[in-house]
Every structure is written in C-alpha cells, then in structure tokens.
Structure 1
C-alpha cells in the first residue's frame, strides 16, 4: 500500500481545450494514463466522461466507480456501482456488489450495507476468497456499528483551520515535548495556492511546522534537513537523541538519524526495518522500560494480511533486531499508523478489519507486546463511517490529534475527498494497574539509602520522553574553584564549556575518560536540558506552577563542609541556567517556578572514589570520581497557578553529625497558607518532641530531634504535609 493510497492525494487534470471532440475510447485512454500516473481523480473524470458518451459500456461505469472509490467520493462511486449491479446480467463485474456495500457503509448506512454484503456472500462466494472472507466479517462489523452508532467518548473535538488544513491532504500530526507542532502535507510546488492545480505541476508530501505569533496568526514552514526534492516525506518523530522519518518514491522506507556531539546526523536508510519491494512506513519510536523500540506498518511477507503492525528493538550495537509481527492485533486487512503511549502502556492503531464504523477506525490495546488486550474501538467522535488515522496523544499538554476525511473540511472535489487534521482534548485513558502500596514501617532502614523517587503523572510523562531523570556532570571543583560560597554567577552551559576546555587534562590522566565517561555523560546534556526548559516554559505559559526536585552531589576530595557548599553552587548554576529563559525567569521571580533543593555534597560517596588529594588519578580524574560530581533533576510537580499553597523548606535537609543526643533543623513556610505537617515515616530510634506541627505564613519553626539511640549510618525521615510537595525527606548521617 503506497502512501498515495494511504493519504488519498488525488489530482485533478484540467481538461484539454480540444477534449469536447474526443470519443469514449479516447477518454478511456486518458483515464488509463491517469491511473498509471497515480491520478485517480483524473481517471474518474475521464472514465465518467467516457460512460456519459457510451452509457451501455459497463466497463466505463465500473472503472469510474473504482476511481471515485479511490478518491473517497463515496456517493458518486455508490451511484456507479449500483448502476453496474443492476445492468450486469452476465456477472462480468461481481465486485461491483461488494463495492456498493462498502460505499453504503462508508456513508453510515449500516443496515443497507449489511444486506448488500450478505447478498455478495451468497451470490459470489466462490469468486474471490479474500472478498468473501471480508464480506463475512463486514456482516459482523455492520451489526456492531449499528448497535454502537450512538455510543461516544467524552471528548472535545475540533478541526484545525487554514493554513494547517488546506484543500489538499494533511497527515501525521505530532506535538513534540518542546511544544513544536509537526505535520506532513501534500503541497503544490508553487506554494499554498487555492487554485485547482494544473496537470504539469508537481505534488509531494513534506514535513512542516506551525508557529503562532502574538496575534494568534499561524505561519507554516518546512522542517530543515528533513524533506528531499521529488520524494514524499512524512511521519517525522523524534526524542532527544533519535529521530525517524518515512520517505516514499516507488516504495515507502524508514530512515533514522541520531544526535551525536550535539548535532543531528543525516537520515540514513535503516536496513533492518526495510525490505526491497515492500512498504515500510509510519514508524513511531518509543522508549519502553529503558529500551528503544520502533513500531511501524509494512506489507512484509509472512504477515497476517495486507499492511500489518510490526516492531523492532534497538540492540547495543545501535542496530535494530529482526522485526516481529504483532500478530495479536493484525488481521487479513490493513493495520496502520501505530502509536505507543508509554504513560498508559497502550498501543493505538487504525484498522479496516476489526469491528468498526467505517473504513479505518482507531483502536487501542494495552500491554506489550506478547501480552496484549483485545482491540477496543475508540467510538465517536474519534471514529466515523470514513477513515480515521494517525491517532496520537500528548499527555503533557493533555491533548491529542487525528487525521480524518470526514465531512466538514475544505474540499474542492467530494465532501470526503481529503484528509485533514483534527484535535481533541483529553480522551479518557485506560487505567493502569498499580502495584499495591506497602504500609509505612518504623523499622530501622537500610543504611544504603537513596533518594525516594517521586513518580507522579507529569514526572512519568517526562521520563517517557527521556527528559527525566536528568543528571548533569561537573568538572572537579566547578563552578568557582577554591571557595566556600553557596552561590555562583555561572550557568551549567558555562560549566560544560569549562569541561570541554579541560578535557585534554582529564584524558592525559585517564585514557578511557573521553570514551567511557565524557562522550556518554556530558555531551548532549545541554541539549536535553534545553528541551526540558522548553517543555517547562510551555507548561508555565499554559497556567501551571512548576516545582523541580533537584539534588547536588560532590566527590569526597575536600572537606564535608566544602563539598556541601560546592553541591549548593552546582544547584545554583542550574537555577541560573533555567532563568536565562525569559518565561522561566519571570515565573521564578513571581513564584511559579520552584526548586526543591537537596545538596547532598559527599553524603553518598563510596569507597570506590578516593578522597586523597595526593592521589588525584583516582580522586579527580577517574570515571568514578567524575560520576560523583553532578546535579540531578529527578522529579517535577505541577499545579494550577491559581492554587494557593504553603511551602516546606528545610534549613538543612541533609545533616551529618558525630554521635550526639540531639540535633536541630529549621522548617520555613514562604507560601500563601498555613503549613501543616507530621511525621510520615521514621526509624524507631529517632524521637521527636511532638508528632505534628503548624507554621503560619513567612514563619520558621525549629525541630529538635533526639538521636541518642541512633546507630552510625545513613537514616531518613519522611514528613507529610499540605504543601506543594506532599512528602519531604530529611537525611541524617551519623559518623562512626
């Protein structure tokens, strides 16, 4: 199935000035030429003219009906097939009855369609095995559609206006994590003209982006380095380090690019995902449980039907595995436009075989990939009696997209001729089974403690996008060497530049430093941070208040106090970086961008990293020492800006102490409401003078903590509160 048939791009050949004197056979020759050129609309016009001149020739009527069917003109096709069925006494055109039934279904006439499919199955069951099998399936599908025609999901559905949708065809819409909207479109080579194009002009699909200015005016631009001359380009998807696109000439094939050293490589043909003479199209890349997969549609041999959904995983050598057929959902028909939603572990795709309302309906299955649920039809208004394709959703922005040739769009041919892009506000998502939560315990915790992960919905979405957790690594004693200062004027971008300049010193002392650490952990981190900043900026622009959970770390080469302050400087460099964005800076100043900071310093350092200044090969230049010098963004919380909440701020969220009877820490409320908090989880050997507290706005309370019975090691206390973050962690390290 070529992209031409999938997106229905069809061109009108202007009739030549001398056409009025042509014979039926001359029109038939013109129509045959148009078919060979892929111009079904031109063929329909010429076959119809031949039929009007020779109405006894059923071949002209039948071929005209087939051509109008290809152009999604269901009414004209139905009229012509009906005529052939009535006049075909010799049964020369048995499929005319099948096509007539199909056209009735596309028009939403399910009972009439069922009757015609039933007739076809009885009269012509030996003519075509595939059509007989499909007709039998359509009996079931028409009954289902009739029973469910008034069922719907609660979705706010809308159509995009010009210039996104035009009189041509649009497809593969996608909103990236940085809020850039991409789509592919059939475009006329002289621009976005509203004229009916001439026969000698070129048409190609190309990937475009949309931008909206302050006056709500949209502008359309081509995507650099994606489109190629005289090649159809579509289905462009990417994350921070990997991108795919489909390119079609005689066949459609998948191409991929990677980001290396901050720059995208050129798109290259992916040998494992393509086969000569077969279609590979509509690729969608996704990370699932830390592993990269690509779902795509293909007519590879040994599939279940025509176009099937296949998947492949990336191996350690960056090659893809042998594609596997998703036989649990594939059918004898066509399954296309796959999209995997990692947040809800759901695969969406379109199919013309499973029970549905029309041609291609959107379906959902949950699980992956060897344990999939039964396909679920998404009902109205997502699905209609025509073709509904390219479903995808962006949970981060709580919206989704769809391509459909349903009535109501711009059309210069039939009212269902052309694919257009539609949007919808959040469809009800499938529930994901959560593992049971274990009750809090007061048992003495393990000394090998780590920071508790916050896995709320927005954090999970950014994890799925490979934007979190984001660990940013620092050269030794940076930013700002030899100081106990807790703040800096440097940004993380400045730090990366310093690392680049000092790289030769590190490689001189550690030959594997560049290949095993720097290339993997430092290169591209500024790009990922920029993408995260763009995403947060977009969320704040949509009325959200954002809080980031940030931890700072240092290697143990200096004193604990020095390293604690160094960790604070590293966190501050991140704050400086994010506030270089004007939107984020304004949000930070008005309290809509918050940082929940935990400077650990050398708190979690291990014996693998030396603390000796005289052994800098291990304490400064080793890969383990380099891994200890970082700032980590682990989670994000999002609230509506209108919500007024208290804040919870430790004076010292990390306390390192010799064995003593009592320690103190302070908690400040700088929010808009009274802060209330209590102990959620604590080792049994830690005692507090009280179990709950209340702190008014802009006031501070001192907590006295009895640790006289606390053993040496690392311990954690969790507080529950009514603040922006519901849980707060206090870490206590008792030294030997």
Structure 2
C-alpha cells in the first residue's frame, strides 16, 4: 500500500534518504540492523536497503532480515537485486517464507517466464491452503489465483499489438531522473504534466528539517513533431509551494477545472484533496477545496476525471480514494454534480466490476464512447499496474478488459490518456528508463504512443414512422417493406452495450432525432451493441449489432421503422393446437411455410414477436405457461428452417388481452369468443443487422 500511494500522489519520498551516518563499513552489525529498523518505521525504503544490504552481506543466515531486504528491493522496483534473495529463501525455507516464493514468481512473470512463474504460484497456493492460518488467507488466495490466471492464459500472454502501436519515451526536456506523471492533453500541440524537475534527491538527516521536493505542473509544446517541456503551464493550472499537484480535467463547458493537491509526511501518511477553479467573466477563481463529503479528513482523495450523465444538467466526478466502505486498498468512486444547484451528491463506490480487492487508480473517461480507462493491480494482468477498459457509467459497467501490450508492460502502467480521434496518447510507466539509474525501474516517465489505422466508428441513420398500411404491405409485397409514411423527428434513440458475462445490456448514451429523423453515435470495435427507439404512441423498437470485422469506419444501420401502438398486429389464423397441447400439427406447419416463413425470408432485417394467447378457461398461471410454450413451438419451427433465432421473440400472454367476449350477459358460454381469443399474432418489434 505504501508504494501504491507514492505512485498515485506524484511524490518519490521513498527516494529520499533519511540518513543516520554515511560510513556503513564502520558500523557494527547490530547498529546496521537498528538503523534499518528505524528506516522501516519512517517508511524510508531506500535507507532500509542501504543498511540491511550491508548487514545481510555479513549475516547470510538471518533469513528474517533477508526477507525484509528482498521485499524492500521489490517495493522500490529493484527486481534485479530482490530476485536472488527471494530465490535463496525459496530454496531454503519456502514454508516459513511462502511470500518469498510468491514474489519470486512475480519477478519471473515480469521476465515473461510464465511457466516457471505459474509453478511458484502453485507452491504458494498450496502453502496457503495447508499451512497458513492467518486472517488474510482468503485475500492472499484471491491474489495468487489472479496471478495464476494471467500466467496460464495463452491468449492473454500472446495479446500484443506492437505491430499497430508504437510507444516512445519522451525526451529529457520532460523526463528527468525521477518522476514525471499526470499527462493532460490540453490541445493538439500542448501537453501538461507534473514533475519534480530535479536530477538528484537530497540526503535528509532525521534531526533536521528541509523542504521536500514537490510535484508541479509544467507545459510541453509540440515543435517539429517533438515535445519540448519545462515551460510554465497555462491557466487554469496552478502550483503550490508546499504541496504536490496531480491530474487535471476541464469540464465540457470550459467553466470548471478540477485537480488534486496534497502532501506527505516522513512517515508515509498522505494528505490529498480535490480542488476546483471556476471561470467567471473570463477570470479563473482561486482554487477551492471541495467539501468534506468529497474530501473526508484523514483519507486520500485524488485523480479527478469527468464523465457525462443521462441528464445534461449533471456531470459525474470520478476520483480515487482510500476512504472506508471501499472494496480494496484504493477504489474508484464518483459523485454526481448538479450544475444548476452547484452541489455534489454523496460519493458512491463504482462497484465490483471496476474495483478489485487490491487497488485501482488513474481513471479517464471517453465521453463519446462511454469508455472508462483505469489502472489496477487487482485484475489479471502482466504485472504491476495495467491499464483496463470498461464501458458504462456510475455503478453500471461491463467487465473490464486488459488493453494489452505494448501499452501495458510487465511493470507499472497508468495515467492513460488519448486524443479524441484515438490516434495517439500518453502513458506513465516505470518500464526500463534511465540507464544511468542504479535501479532501472525505480522511477516513472511519460511515454507517447501512436496507433496505426485506428478505427473511429460512427453510427448514423434515420428513424421512420410506419403508416397504417404497414402490415398489409408486409404481407402483400413481393420485396421487403420499404415504403413508410414519414421521417420521425424528436424520437429518443438509446445506445446500449452488452455485458457478455450477464447477458444484459447497459445504456451508454441517448440521442434525439433531428427534423429529418437522423441520429448519431460513436462506438468502438469488437463490441456487441443494441439501439432502442422510443416515442409516445409508438411501440418500442430495437436493433442489435456488433462491430467485429468492420471494413469501413462508418456503420450504417438499416432504416428503423417504429410502429404506431394502435396498429393491429398480424393474426396467424391457421395455426391450431390440440386441447392442452403446444405441438404444431401438419396443417399449421404448412401454413407457416407458405405465410410467415415467406415474410421472414423477404424481410431479412426485421425482428418479430410471436405472441400466443389462450382463452379464459382453466388456471391463469397454467394458461400463461401454455401460451409461452405455444409461441416457442412457432419460433423453434422457423429456427429449424434457417431463420435466425435472434429475429424471433416468443411471448406468452395467457388469457390477457382478450379480443372477444367469452360469456354473454346471462353468463352463458360463447365458444366462438373463446376460439377468437385462442390465437397467435405477429408484430414487428425491431430490426437486426445481419
């Protein structure tokens, strides 16, 4: 957790040495060990490895200190020095130090030795199951199962987009020897980022006071296709003397700018909050710290991102926090902001699809596709923090997917951001950086990436309103129905994405047709979508489609026709069932062959509902089940003849919606009325793209 907070908050206080003495060789072993323990209490991992490494060189048999040393190396990302110590503990006492086996496996995974890593994870899992009695056993089991899943998944290991994506480290005018972070694309030629802007850290004596370097905003400009940094940032970015700043996001209307700022003490306690600046009469206000609902005392609140909401008067403020009520160490939360009242609703956790038992950081929202990008060390990944992508809003999300290499590496990758056209963007990573550093993975740099032939898929088409002769044309025309009455303006069209895990669709965006009946959305590749169309006095209509294997960047949905509510459905009069039965007889099959089957063949894009009804005799619940089975018999028969099952919906209504009286005014039975109510109907409810 300590290392995570350092990552999130743009400080590298772990690189500062809280020195007790400089001449280690003159110290006795007990002094080295005591100074190492003191450094542990301060959270000064660099000093921990400084003292413990000298101690360990003299006392190889002290396994407890050896494990602390190796784990400290691991936490400061010096995997090369951690590896041999973990390996020795693995060989000598894996049952006493099972975490050494796990860490060794993680390092092997970073070296892409997946089979050997999986073997270590299996040993660690067995030790947990048979020997571990600690209270955090379940959490450790979840962690090792996650590592096993990614180590053994062949398709995951081979997921590499290096041929399509070029990734480059930015030059030394931006990336210094320590940490650069929080890239914000301000416009096509301006990049804002944070940096400590120093080439070496001071050595700090614990008995003296010194101003610890803080992260500040800087600006880089694109000059001759090369980013040149180190410049002062434009408004509304602002720096503090004694606080580090991070992240930064501007509202769509350009009137609110959110960012995070805070500090860390020498004990590793981080205090950060989200601030806002407001544009009034062309002047940016002073930074205002959001209220304690957003920024609770004694907890971290950082990395703001902005999403749109179903209501244009609302924005969604996403952020990262370690407050109580979360799922893991740090989670992604959100608060709905009311632009009219200038109020923020109580923060809510983004839920278990996004947040894991570990840590989630650096959210970024693509408001055009409703995609959420974030980094996590709790979902199955290559190692460290990987970037993931999900779709949805608030608490409704589809399961996130790892976006793959080379954006992700076996090290930490976070702060993903991109241009709207998806052609390029930036990532922060500690993949191999400055060769002059003793530890090549200690520090974070900004990398830019370019995506070749990225498809930006636009979906647009027209909604029509059917005229009163729609079903007559459906029956009598030799070709498919194309004649409609008029374009449908002011019609609500909603875009949904499929959660393939649950099978449910999540609403992503809403558009209203213009005077010509047109609507427009932006969608992503390789996803399953649904459009729903709603208008008063018309039956709801839908279309399902996917964006797999698209050749063009524009997807034209076939014209959608909405049907008036008062338009009577087609009655399938010649379908008969035996009493209390649902199997089709031969005459009914012949009728379907010559009528309904032909309609479905001619109109290959329509989705139909097959509605079955019973009369009022018998138990109503039983009649409901019976009618559903009869509708399913029709659907199954047409499916067997080759009609796509996605175009057929079986609905049983039982004795609902009678169209004739079954008893006269004297209570006498009317057989003809009952016969009329026992019926099968067809109505068009949508279209499907083949």
Fold shared, TM-score > 0.5 on shorter chain: yes
Structure 1 pair 428–118 and aligned structure 2 pair: CA distance change class (3 A):
farther
The aligned counterpart of 1:364 is 389
Deviation at 1:398, TM superposition (A): 3.2
- 1:48 counterpart residue number: 53
Give me the whole-angstrom Cα distance separating, in 1, the residues matched to 2:259 and 2:179: 18
Match of 1:232 in 2: 244
2:39 maps to 1:27: no
2:315 matched to which residue of 1? 292
**Structure 1 position 135 matched with structure 2 position 144:** yes
Asked if 2 retains the 8 angstrom alpha-carbon contact of 1:149 and 1:357, the reply is no
Superposition pairs of residues 321-470 of structure 1, within 5 angstroms:
321-327=345-351, 328-395=353-420, 398-410=423-435, 412-426=437-451, 434=459, 436-438=461-463
Does structure 1 retain, via aligned residues, the 8 Å contact 2:488–2:516? no
Distance in 2 (CA, whole Å) between partners of 1:246 and 1:121 is: 39
Per-residue deviation, residues 310-337 of structure 1 (Å, max 9, x unmatched): 1111023212111121212211111111
Mapped pair 1:152 → 2:161: yes
**Aligned-partner Cα distance in 1 for 2:452–2:290:** 34
Q: 1:48-67 maps to which residues of 2 (within 5 A)?
A: 48-67=53-72
2:285 corresponds to which of 254, 257, 265: 265
Corresponding residue for 1:74?
79
- Distance in 2 between the 1:451 and 1:276 partners? 52
SS in 1 for 2:168: strand
8 Å CA contact 2:327, 2:355 repeated in 1: yes
Unaligned runs of 5+ in 1: 459-736
Match of 1:309 among 332, 346, 353: 332
Equivalent residue number for residue 208 of structure 1: 218
Q: 1:436 to 1:401 in 2, by over 3 A?
A: same
Q: Distance in 2 between matches of 1:381 and 1:453?
A: 42
Q: For 1:596-611, list aligned pairs within 5 A.
A: none
Q: Structure 2 CA distance, aligned partners of 1:54 and 1:446?
A: 82
- Cα 1:409/1:381, change in 2 over 3 Å: farther
Q: Alpha-carbon deviation of 1:124?
A: 2.6
Q: Tell me by how many angstroms 1:15 deviates.
A: 8.6
Look up the match of 2:192.
182
Matched, 1:110 2:114: yes
1:283 has 2:304 as partner: yes
Measured in 1, the distance between the counterparts of 2:414 and 2:436 equals 18
Quickly say closer, same or farther: Cα 1:386–1:217, change in 2 above 3 A.
Answer: closer
Q: Is the aligned partner of 1:242 residue 2:233?
A: no
TM-score with structure 2 length normalisation?
0.60
Residue 437 of structure 1 aligns to a residue in which SS?
strand
Q: What TM-score, normalized to structure 1?
A: 0.56
CA distance in 2, matches of 1:81, 1:177: 47
Return closer, same or farther for 1:314/1:396 CA change in 2, 3 Å cut-off. Answer: same
SS of residue matched to 1:273: coil
1:254 and 2:312 matched: no
What is the root-mean-square deviation of aligned Cα atoms in Å?
3.4
Shift of 1:442: 10
- Kindly state the Cα deviation for residue 369 of structure 1 after the two structures are TM-superposed: 3.3
Pick from 85, 90, 105: which aligns with 2:90? 85
Partner residue of 2:173? 163
Equivalent-residue separation in structure 1 for 2:176 and 2:519 (angstroms): 42
Aligned residues: 453
Q: Gaps (5+ residues) in structure 2?
A: 264-269, 465-481, 491-512, 523-690
Distance (whole Å) between structure 2 residues aligned to residue 457 and residue 413 of structure 1: 50
Tell me: CA distance 1:74–1:428, structure 2 relative to 1, closer, same or farther (3 Å): farther
